[in-house]
Amino acid sequence: MTELTAPKSSVTAAQFADEIRNELKYTQGVTPEQAKPADVYVAAATAVRKHLMDSWMKTQQDMINGNTKAVGYLSAEFLMGKQLRNALLNSGLTEQFEAAVKELGFDPQQVTDAEYEPGLGNGGLGRLAACFIDSLASLGVPAFGYGIQYRYGIFRQEFDEEGRQIERPDYWLTNEDPWGHIDYERDQRVSFGGEVVEEDGKRVWKPSWSVRAIPVDYMVPGYESGRVNTLRLWQARSYDEFDLLTFNKSEYLDAVKPQVKAENISKILYPEDSTEVGKELRLEQQYFFASASIHDAIRVFYPNQDKPDLTTFPDKICFQLNDTHPVIGIPELMRILLDEYGYDWDTAWNITTKTFNYTCHTLLPEALEVWPVALISKLLPRHMEIINKINDQFMHELEEMTDDEAKVERMRIVTDGDTPSVRMAYLASYAGEHVNGVAELHSQLLKDVTLRDFSDLFPKKFTNVTNGVTPRRFMKLANPGLSDLITEGLGTDKWLEDLELLKNLEPLAQDDEFVKKFAQVKYDNKIKFADFAKREYGFDIDSSTMFDTMIKRLHEYKRQALKILEVIATYADIKSGKVKIEDVTPRTVIFGAKAAPGYYLAKMTIQLINNVAKVINNDPDVMGKLKVVFPWNYNIRVAQYLIPATELDEQISQAGKEASGTSNMKFALNGALTVGTLDGANVEIRERVGADNFFLFGMTVDEVEKMYADGYDPAKYYEADPRLKAAIDMVAKGTFSDGDEDTYAPLVSDWLTKDWFMTLADFTAYHDIQSEIETLYGDQLEWNRKAIINVANSGYFSSDRSIEDYLERVWMTGPLK
């Protein structure tokens, strides 16, 4: 290991400044005097990339020549965040960069700000993929991330005058992307449509159109591992520049149609984070990257071989399916083995079932992907044949194993009925070697409920791997103040590679001097966030107030409504004099959330939060006591400012709905206390940090199930809690819509008549716990002790640990030798 550990780069600041000057000259064509911060950013990025090049090439060589099975992480999303700071950290060039840039007359902050954040993901699942490839490289595991280089990432969110969400295209590639390297020589053909014909007793697919998949390679540098892996994102291009014949008839628009169709495939990230619609383009995207990636892996591991022995494929690489999005890769590998390489069915099946593993990230039934047979047949007719054959084989096996006909019927991969469909989660659960959920509770619910029949049949397939987050980005980069304090407290910075070392901080929670230093770091982070919020959003935030944060996609099950109703109720209490103003703990309530563009109630909740903010923030009666801010376009960069500044973290989903959550881990590691339900990874966080250091409230999964079964009536809760009633009445009567009673009528009506996620039922408990929170907050020393205990006991939630669990329980491989 030691010889591979990259020494802190021996490059001096002066040398690095020269390298930047060189890049400015030979890449950008500007002098340092003419250069703008963005030029210096591109130059510095290019220079860092060159420093990583040897390790990158060596890693690739070792991977091909060595005998360590590699991991192919197949994911429709990689939410990477900005790259420069991370690349500098991992190549040991941070200090040189700072000094060099200053020598050139620039402010390092301005230079790093010039990088445009790539938003190639929706939220948790995409960010998890980014954390995982960071950890894979840091642990020295040979791995590829495989995905799509969308031309437009997650939309840029704005708010209009009325506080409604506006979506703007995120054209992140308008500026130079110094990180991605387009490799035209390693393209792949991906075909669609057409028909399957019988030739010499064989089924032969005759597709009707193809696209060219071109890889764009990103370096994934490990932290102090000397390894640099590859993130390979595919871009779709057309083979036919345009159809000359049509062009000559001067029908230009028709002439470019095939090109437009091909390029559409990688044009845009779907901004949904759970959805029931089976959109054709989405399936095209999924097949596009799955097919190109599998072919690419064969090319990498069997270079220049016409007749490779693919029975060894599962020893070379295993693919992790990040949710069902790449599951079409299963029939694709079968097709490749059967049709392109001539293996018989059983051999192909044997290879395929050793190659794939499946991670499920949801519990919402509507988020389990299902594709109509008609659509797959049209787009991928050969794959539909293969899926049918897999289904038939499975049904036969089942019939041998059980007499329970209803069960056999329930487990069909291909359903019949009005719209015959393919259940991708079932396909993956049958064909995958392992199936895992992303937190203990979630994996248990998968086994007991969502995939129960499969887990009964294949108990050994099912396992749990609790999510994690990378401490490099979410502690070292985001929170340098706390990182320095931890290093001081532990006397080493090794915790960045072995996060369980944080445990040794625990005694320091009783050391008042240390606690005060910790409190000072938190306060400095609050000031830093307040400055940022002023600069970027024009918000005035008082850093002496409690920073109470809820950041996540806007979804009913996550229950932003619960938070905003509690804010409204508190506002009403102050206004009515029920609560004395001097008894109120001053708070700044901070929201960050994007809503799917077609999600009506989610968008209305955004509008409500914005208008509650407008009313409260302009009311002199509560000034200095209660403030609501909603920085628009929440993204990784905002997270990196906000998480270290937060004191209270809101994880208030309905129990049994949030698969894991990962911001909860980031918050605990950055010394926030969590108020949360027994849901997802909250359960494990609470177990580790201790019940005394976690604000638990609300119904449990069992209580929720019982309430559904008994029939839930939200109006009962509205009548029973006067604070809740007052809050909902204010919304209904137009307090936050200039007196208009129609604006939020659909939301109010949903609360009172449906409230599927039982926001109203948990309201009273939520209020009670908020009172406890305020009491504790009054004792800053105690509060900060608990925050330190949270940090000390959250080392388990490093994505390094998640990856080690995958290596041991799922992938059966390890670091490159």
Annotated catalytic residues are 361, 552-553, 558, 662, 666
For position 800 contacting ligand 26Q by CB under 6 A, the verdict is no
* Identity of the residue, 570 or 660, whose beta carbon is nearer to ligand 26Q in the bound complex: 660
* Identity of the residue, 123 or 258, whose beta carbon is nearer to ligand 26Q in the bound complex: 123
Output the smallest distance, CB 482 to ligand 26Q, in A: 23
| H-helix segments, 402-511 | 405-410, 424-431, 440-445, 452-457, 471, 480-490
Output the smallest distance, CB 564 to ligand 26Q, in A: 20
Half-sphere exposure of 604 (CA within 13 A, CB side): 16
* Identity of the residue, 438 or 486, whose beta carbon is nearer to ligand 26Q in the bound complex: 438
Report the b/e string of 691-726 with b at 16+ CB within 10 A. eebbbbbbbebebbeeeeeeebebeebbeebebbbb
Per CB under 6 A, the segment of 1-9, 124-132, 144-152, 168-176 that binds ligand 26Q is 124-132
Token digits of residue 725: 């009633």
Q: What's the distance, Cα to Cα, between the start and end of the chain in Å?
A: 8
* Identity of the residue, 351 or 665, whose beta carbon is nearer to ligand 26Q in the bound complex: 665
Among 75, 467, 560, 790, binds ligand 26Q (CB under 6 A): 467
Token digits of residue 512: 């008042």
- Identify whether the C-beta of residue 358 lies closer than 8 Å to the C-beta of residue 429: yes
Longest distance between any two alpha carbons in the chain, whole Å = 87
Half-sphere exposure of 273 (CA within 13 A, CB side): 27
For position 421 contacting ligand 26Q by CB under 6 A, the verdict is no
What is each CA distance from 251 to 244, 262, 347, 448, in whole angstroms?
10, 19, 50, 58
Coil, strand or helix: which one is 372? strand
For position 234 contacting ligand 26Q by CB under 6 A, the verdict is no
Coil, strand or helix: which one is 115? coil
For position 274 contacting ligand 26Q by CB under 6 A, the verdict is yes
For position 91 contacting ligand 26Q by CB under 6 A, the verdict is no
The alpha carbon of residue 461 and the mean position of all alpha carbons in its chain are separated, in whole angstroms, by 25
Site for ligand 26Q in 600-659 (CB under 6 A): 658-659
Q: How many residues does the chain have?
A: 817
Per CB under 6 A, the segment of 86-94, 273-281, 668-676, 764-772 that binds ligand 26Q is 273-281
Output the smallest distance, CB 358 to ligand 26Q, in A: 13
Place of tokens 């638990």: 696
* Identity of the residue, 125 or 629, whose beta carbon is nearer to ligand 26Q in the bound complex: 125
Output the smallest distance, CB 429 to ligand 26Q, in A: 17
Among 85, 361, 461, 786, binds ligand 26Q (CB under 6 A): 361
* Identity of the residue, 125 or 292, whose beta carbon is nearer to ligand 26Q in the bound complex: 125
For position 438 contacting ligand 26Q by CB under 6 A, the verdict is yes
Report the b/e string of 43-74 with b at 16+ CB within 10 A. bbbbbbbebbeebbeebbebbeeeebbbbbbb
What is each CA distance from 444 to 231, 235, 437, 455, in whole angstroms?
32, 38, 8, 10
For position 440 contacting ligand 26Q by CB under 6 A, the verdict is no
- Identify whether the C-beta of residue 258 lies closer than 8 Å to the C-beta of residue 236: no
For position 147 contacting ligand 26Q by CB under 6 A, the verdict is no
Output the smallest distance, CB 467 to ligand 26Q, in A: 5
Among 69, 237, 282, 299, binds ligand 26Q (CB under 6 A): 282
* Identity of the residue, 49 or 563, whose beta carbon is nearer to ligand 26Q in the bound complex: 563
Among 103, 272, 385, 500, binds ligand 26Q (CB under 6 A): 272
* Identity of the residue, 680 or 714, whose beta carbon is nearer to ligand 26Q in the bound complex: 680
Per CB under 6 A, the segment of 120-128, 312-320, 484-492, 508-516 that binds ligand 26Q is 120-128
The alpha carbon of residue 360 and the mean position of all alpha carbons in its chain are separated, in whole angstroms, by 13
Among 680, 698, 714, 795, binds ligand 26Q (CB under 6 A): 680
DSSP string, 123-172: SHHHHHHHHHHHHHHHTT--EEEEEE--SB-SPEEEE-TTS-EEEE---G
Among 55, 90, 122, 790, binds ligand 26Q (CB under 6 A): 122
Output the smallest distance, CB 180 to ligand 26Q, in A: 22
Which residues sit at the interface with ligand 26Q, rule CB under 6 A?
A: 122-125, 128, 270, 272-275, 282, 361, 367, 369, 438, 467, 658-662, 680
